[in-house]
Amino acid sequence: MQDILINWTPQETRVAIVENGAVQELHIERTLERGLVGNVYLGKVARVLPGMQSAFVDIGLERAAFLHVADLHLAAGREPGAVPVPIERLLFEGQTLTVQVVKDPIGTKGARLSSQISIAGRLLVFLPQDSHIGVSQKIGSPELREQLRQRVAALAAAAAEAEVAAGTSPRKGEPGGGFILRTNAEDASDQELAEDIAYLRKTWAAIRDGAHRQPPGTLLHQDLSLAERVLRDMANEQTGTVRIDSRLQYDHLAAFGQAYSPGAVGKLALYRGERPIFDLHNIDAEIQKALARRVELKSGSYLIIDQTEALTTVDVNTGGFVGARNFEDTIFKTNLEAAGAIARQLRLRNLGGIIIVDFIDMAREEHRNAVLAEFRKQLARDRTKTTISGFTQLGLVEMTRKRTRESLAHMLCEPCPVCDGRGQVKTARSVCYDILREILREARQFEPKEFRIVASPAVVEMLLDEESTHLAGLSDFIGKPISLSAESAMSAEQYDIVLM
């Protein structure tokens, strides 16, 4: 069983999934960093630009948003090869229409819009203006794709009939809606698919009703917050409780769960303890560990995890572990322990893309197979899709993990302003020699009365002490005095040469 802990503050929501007393996943969402993509607005056409086949639409933001004719639902629904209809015949100034943000505002550019609405659920994407049922290309089996398509078609028809009986069916002339099955719907049960269909149709009904009642510029639908996604996506049969430390958010989630996720609302609980909820399992300490390069394991061995632009590398080391009877057993046990730890770290840090794991070399084939089987077993617990290959000729394990959001390090950290993310800086002596070369270069171009070096205290101290002979020799060579000034605000590599 697993517990889900939600720490909510007005500026940030943090979610930890705890299993057997250990943190397995971390999710963080910051209020100011929530984008607009997926939001649905009731917009008002402010200006139509025939020359660009585009329009500017006021959706209540600081800048008008941009809508191209290709993103209009009416234009997209035309037969292939048909003559395109100019945007001035489809839109007019002052017209209201329901639009969805497909690209956030960047710099001076407004948001990019589409009138082809799509609402994403956990298993399905709802296309309320279409009737097509599609399947993700990543579900490769033709038989399975057709089976899933028929199941969703039957469940969607049943949901539509239920709406007719309840008197909440779409208005006359509106399509019943289409669906696209996402990759994680491959193994979903009929109950899970039906719950997702019901949630998506309820969401669209609220958008549709709001578009007829609200004034232009109104936000009709916002993509779910992290706390809401916990109830919809993360709470399952293995979840014991979902505890949250905010009464306001507890009431909101209870209402949301009753409407959209009734199966999970019974697991929701309000945390009333005096200690911060994340202190229950030392989660803040786990976050700090998840940002470190080195990960200590219980046996005394350790992992080194390096995240680069192209891929992530994980190196396994025995460290101080010498407990096994012989060297081969020591390596084998270290790699077995590392397999579980690596899978957990990938979830904690949300590392995606290409991942290369360098297990300690094993001579015996059965040991390699056992480690690979354990690694696959641990990765199977990951809700994010992973693929793994066997050992390469170099003894490395190659795998991929789908990128779903920014990694924990990219979300919480930024490159070091001193080393610019390199992880190392020049020595004080190297900087001294850079300064001496720069002074010689400038002495050949300019004729100042004096050169003044402004640098960090460590560099100035070295120039006054160990490098004083070279500094004096340079001053005699160029025929100009050289003075020094220490600036504590400067980093080790920063310096300035002032011409006096």
User: Could you report the per-residue pLDDT of 383-398, keeping only the tens digit for each?
Assistant: 888 999 889 988 899 9
Say if CB 349 and CB 290 are below 8 A apart. yes
Which distant-in-sequence residues (6+ apart) come within 8 Å of 390 by Cβ? 372, 397
For residue 287, the surrounding DSSP H or E stretch is helix 283-290
| Cα distance between residue 432 and residue 344, in whole Å | 45
Nearest in space to 312 (alpha carbons), one of 176, 220, 408? 408
Residue 32 has pLDDT above 60, yes or no: yes
pLDDT for the residue numbered 80: 54
| Cα distance between residue 242 and residue 57, in whole Å | 41
Helix axes 365-379, 327-349, angle to 10 degrees: 20
Residue 103 has pLDDT above 60, yes or no: yes
Assign domain 428-499 to its CATH architecture: 3-Layer(aba) Sandwich (3.40)
How many C-alpha atoms does 193 have within 13 Å on its Cβ side? 24
Split at pLDDT 50, 70, 90, the class of 172 is very low
Residue 45 has pLDDT above 60, yes or no: yes
Which distant-in-sequence residues (6+ apart) come within 8 Å of 356 by Cβ? 311, 312, 313, 314, 396, 397, 398
| Cα distance between residue 225 and residue 233, in whole Å | 12
The three-state (H, E, C) secondary structure of 434-491, written as one string:
HHHHHHHHHHCCCCCCCEEEEECHHHHHHHHCCCHHHHHHHHHHHCCCEEEEECCCCC
Residue 324 has pLDDT above 60, yes or no: no
DSSP state, residue 310: S
Decide which of 186 and 272 is more confident: 272
Say if CB 25 and CB 348 are below 8 A apart. yes
pLDDT for the residue numbered 428: 93
pLDDT for the residue numbered 173: 45
pTM summary value: 0.73
Average pLDDT value over all residues in the chain? 88
For residues 284-308, average pLDDT:
91
- Comparing 40-49, 73-82, 105-114, 402-411, the range with the smallest average pLDDT is 73-82
Say if CB 328 and CB 363 are below 8 A apart. yes
Q: What CATH superfamily is the domain 2-34+225-283? A: eRF1 domain 2 (3.30.420.60)
Q: What residue ranges do the domains of the chain occupy? A: 2-34+225-283, 66-221, 292-412, 428-499
Helix axes 142-166, 190-213, angle to 10 degrees: 50
Give the range with max mean pLDDT: 183-187, 323-327, 432-436: 432-436
For residues 433-454, average pLDDT:
93
Query: What sign for the dihedral angle of Cα 19, 22, 25, 31?
Result: positive
Split at pLDDT 50, 70, 90, the class of 21 is confident
Split at pLDDT 50, 70, 90, the class of 18 is very high
Residue 1 has pLDDT above 70, yes or no: yes
For 335-358, the pLDDT digits (tens) are 999 999 999 999 999 998 999 999
pLDDT above 90: percentage of residues in the chain: 53
| Cα distance between residue 203 and residue 418, in whole Å | 48
The owner of tokens 């409407």 is: 259
pLDDT for the residue numbered 118: 92
Split at pLDDT 50, 70, 90, the class of 242 is very high
For residues 80-102, average pLDDT:
86
Residue 78 has pLDDT above 60, yes or no: no
For 115-162, the pLDDT digits (tens) are 999 998 888 999 998 888 988 877 778 888 888 999 998 998 888 888
pLDDT for the residue numbered 300: 87
| Cα distance between residue 123 and residue 180, in whole Å | 9
Amino acid at 262: P
| Cα distance between residue 167 and residue 58, in whole Å | 33
pLDDT for the residue numbered 236: 80
